[in-house]
Structure 1
Amino acid sequence: MCQRHQAFLIARLIPHGEQDKAHYRCIAAIHHQWCYGRVPLGGTRRFFALVKNPANAAIVLDEIRRAQGKYGRQGEEPGVPETVFPYAQLLLTLPFFLDVDDPCGRYASGGGIEGALIWGFLIMVTNDDGMTIIDVTDPLNPTYGYSKPDGGYILNAKSYVRSYYRAGPANDNTEIDVRYHIDVMKNECAIKAELVAEVWPEFLQGDR
């Protein structure tokens, strides 16, 4: 039994053959075999800390700049090679597979970058516990959203994690940790459903 979850980075790229009109498409994606509940929120928070670092943001922006005009829209040719945004892919993989924030609860999970790649950036892969979608068009101001596998709705951090944990007593250890994960994401901006629908129009129904 697994708790499979995928995480995707999207950004605005000018498609091959066009001059100036940019469209959203996926630029990096990972598959995690055991990621649910609070774990995606922790991965998102750690990714935001990395990508908002000015040095990291500059590299991601440069990768996006270099890709302008080279590739088709999502699902169209010429396709985007899975590792054409290597630094963005690295920044996405590390925080979802490695947590060293808590000295008493450190963990490493998964089989590394190569094993985590989703070839073709397919959104319809085996999934038990939803997906994380992050817009890095402006890496210093990323936006995020989650979706459960049973419905194509975009959820914020609180809605996603509360689908696993109902509110409990304030002194309960699990409730304390759930509230912590919700609290650290409360000032981050949620992604707009229409942006995700531009990448995967067959998937989205709206946001909640």
Structure 2
Amino acid sequence: MRNKEIFLSDISQGMLESTRKVLGEAFNYMQIDANSIPFKQEYFDAMIANHMLFYLNDVTAGLKEIHRVLKKGGHFYCSTYSKRHMQEINQLVKEFDEQITLSDRSLPQIFGLENGEEILKRYFSKVEKRLYKDALSVDDAQALFSYIMSCHGNQMDMLAERMEEFKSFIEAKIEQEGAIYITKEAGVFICEK
């Protein structure tokens, strides 16, 4: 790409440092809150938000900022997932203990495949949704356990005294079924200003 600059941003400095270690110095790294993007109006030709709009404290403010710094005719690509995405993991956890939640809020209700197009049409002249159908077949109990423990819910507190029991529960499920099927239902919105 001739005469182009690429900025990689995140609200987390740690995430930026991890990314820099992998990708090196070919990019500009900036810690940015998407609700307050420190660039002039119509600065960027294209912007990408990969599975992150639902984490914003204010999606409306974030999209207004993205619209502000995107050039006329510029493109905004944002990925998200549906309410059905990885639903089997929630079902598995609830089967073990109804009290466990893996997220303190329903992220796809904030910005998901079901409502994303309607939200984006307030800010962009063209919005196209492309679905990515996929699935996982997980036969590694430790990997599934680690993923569940990394979620943003109450599972750490709820399982503090029962981790080994929960691990054994997952192992037994995999032993019984051979693997755990997990729906992946994600997609991307391609928007033009």
Which category describes the TM-score, using the shorter chain as reference length? under 0.3
Greater strand share, structure number: 2
TM-score (norm 2): 0.25
TM-score (norm 1): 0.24
